[in-house]
Amino acid sequence: MAWKIWKNETERFEEEMRKAFDNRNKNKIEKAIEHFANAYKIANSSSDPSLREKARIAYAYMLIYNAIQYKSTDILKNTFEYLASLPGDIELDLALPRPVKVGELVEDFKILSLLSSIPSIELENASSINLEEARRIREVGEYLLSKGSKRLILEDIFNIKEPMNIIALRLLGYSKLIEATHIEKEDLNKSIELYAEALVYFQQAADKIASNVMTKIEKLGKATKCWICGRAIQGEDVNFIYLDSFLTKYIVEKYSGDAPGILISEHGKIATCSACYGVIYNLSDKIARHYYQEAMKALRELEQRLLAIISQLQAQINMLQTRITSIESSISSLRTTIMFKR
């Protein structure tokens, strides 16, 4: 019986594809990518047109699982662009309940690449995101909103388990949030309007950030007088803040209800406008810096004195060591003389 030793290109291609799927099924994605790449190289370098055609399929699998493994914006975008170049009716086995057509995956990877390019946004860091980025986030939100309640085919793989319209509402809320943070120190009323628009989007998306935005709106709507300069001011945490003070019961009872707002907070702090706070902060900073410099000067002087004392002590130690060496030498010479006389 003759044994077949050399495998032809088709057999080697099919073996690499089998190994790729086997490793994929065992969740060894890196190894699966490696075998898909090997299969692509074999098919792509073949002189057989039908096998070269299969190279595109192997390459598609390689890109898809590379995107699943690393999820970077560039990889997701490259996967989307490559899949878009293939016939949409090609079916792929992605270990889902049914084979998936390339045309279906194109839309998924387009959406995934858009979502991955959006930075993580919280109320606290929204002001650090520029307005151009806010515009782009709004555009992505509007695009997803046009998809209605569609869900990703790969939602379990990428752990994005919401319909597109819910994600869209959240993104539209973030875009308004960013805009609001950028103008809250210039146009308070317009900022409150934008925060209110963001709140509506977040409430529709049932997003937990809605309660924080509501608190923000309430604070910006608060008005009071500055305890120090007496000027009417609006916008807690933006145009005024509450500072710790020493308040007697008499002061609290007499001034806590002063118009036009809360002069003394429920925690016993006094309202201070940002201008007065700035003066206090800068002055305290100068004082602290002055005392710091004085303390450092005193420490440097003390260091110099200690170094001088240490230097004197070291000189004395060196002198003692020299004397000890001399005495030891004299004793050694005396011992030699005594032994010689004996």
pLDDT mean over 63-91: 95
pLDDT mean over 111-130: 91
pLDDT at 332: 80
Cβ contact 178:131 at 8 Å: yes
pLDDT at 341: 67
| Count of other CB atoms within 10 angstroms of residue 15 | 15
pLDDT at 3: 45
Q: Which residues contact 296 (CB under 8 A, 6 or more apart)?
A: none
Domains detected in the chain: 9-228 (1.25.40)
pTM for this structure?
Answer: 0.78
330 pLDDT higher than 90: no
Calculate the CA dihedral of residues 30, 33, 37, 38 and round it to 10 degrees. 70
| Dist. CA 192–CA 221, nearest whole Å | 8
258 pLDDT higher than 70: no
Percent of the chain with pLDDT over 70: 95
Rg (CA), the chain: 38
pLDDT at 2: 44
**Rounded mean pLDDT of the chain?**
91
* Exposure of 131 in the CB half-sphere (CA atoms within 13 A): 5
35 pLDDT higher than 60: yes
pLDDT digits (tens, 9 = 90+) for 170-188: 999 999 999 999 999 999 9
Q: Say whether 251 sits in a helix, a strand or coil.
A: helix
1 pLDDT higher than 50: no
Helices (H) and strands (E) in the chain, counts: 12, 6
Backbone angles phi, psi at 101, to 5 degrees: -80, 145
Q: Say whether 264 sits in a helix, a strand or coil.
A: strand
